[in-house]
Amino acid sequence: MPGDLADLLDVYEAGPERRTECVELARQARQKPWWEEYDAVVGEYVAIETEARSARSWQPLLVPGLLQTAAYAREIFAAGQHRFSPQLVDLQLRARLARQRELLGCDPPFTLHGVIAEQVLHRRIGTRDTMKEQLHRLAVLAGWPNVTVQVLEEGVGAHPGLCGSFVLLSLPGGADYVFFETPPDERVTDKVETVREFERRFECLAALALTPEKSAALVSEILKEL
């Protein structure tokens, strides 16, 4: 209760700055999490991602979710309709677009460093227009100061990303998590040894990939060919 908080702050003789901080924390605690209405289609990962300040993502099959267009994302969700009803597919799409608004538009800015396989740029998801729109969006967002996109070329041989996609999340205060898929489940862990191992894998992938500038040029080249 606001009155209870004020009484406690009086008891502890909190100064103006600490009072403001505590009142703001209390206000945030009373707010309904944005993802609560999508609880049927999102899991633990989204709650942790919302608290994160940065993400490092390796994606060998698809454009990272935060960089997807609505049409591209819908095609992906629709492909899994054997598991979900059309209503749940719509809910998935709304949840994804809400994630993009909450994270890429937040203040202070959320930073995303994505490394994607070149095959992602060539894989036709939906129509030609869907892919053109998606590659254009990828090129635009890659120019944002808080977004870095690198492409791992097809010619690269064996590499640490062959194990599948994963995302590293860094939260305020130094907490780190890694998310990866182990079909048919998804797993999020903050186990230090596991996080460090995936950090090493990401560093290696980023070193093997094209620079952001050369990656942008490759995306533009493929876009012109569509």
20 and 46 in a single domain? The answer is no
Number of domains in the chain: 2
Residue 66 belongs to what domain range? 37-225
112 and 158 in a single domain? The answer is yes
95 and 207 in a single domain? The answer is yes
pLDDT at residue 3, rounded to an integer: 44
Arithmetic mean of pLDDT, 102-109: 84
pLDDT at residue 29, rounded to an integer: 46
143-191 tens-digit pLDDT:
999 999 999 999 999 999 998 999 999 998 888 999 987 655 668 999 9
- pLDDT at residue 41 tops 50: yes
| pLDDT band with cut points at 50, 70 and 90 for residue 100 | very high
199 with 190: CB under 8 angstroms?
A: no
| pLDDT band with cut points at 50, 70 and 90 for residue 65 | very high
* pTM, full prediction: 0.83
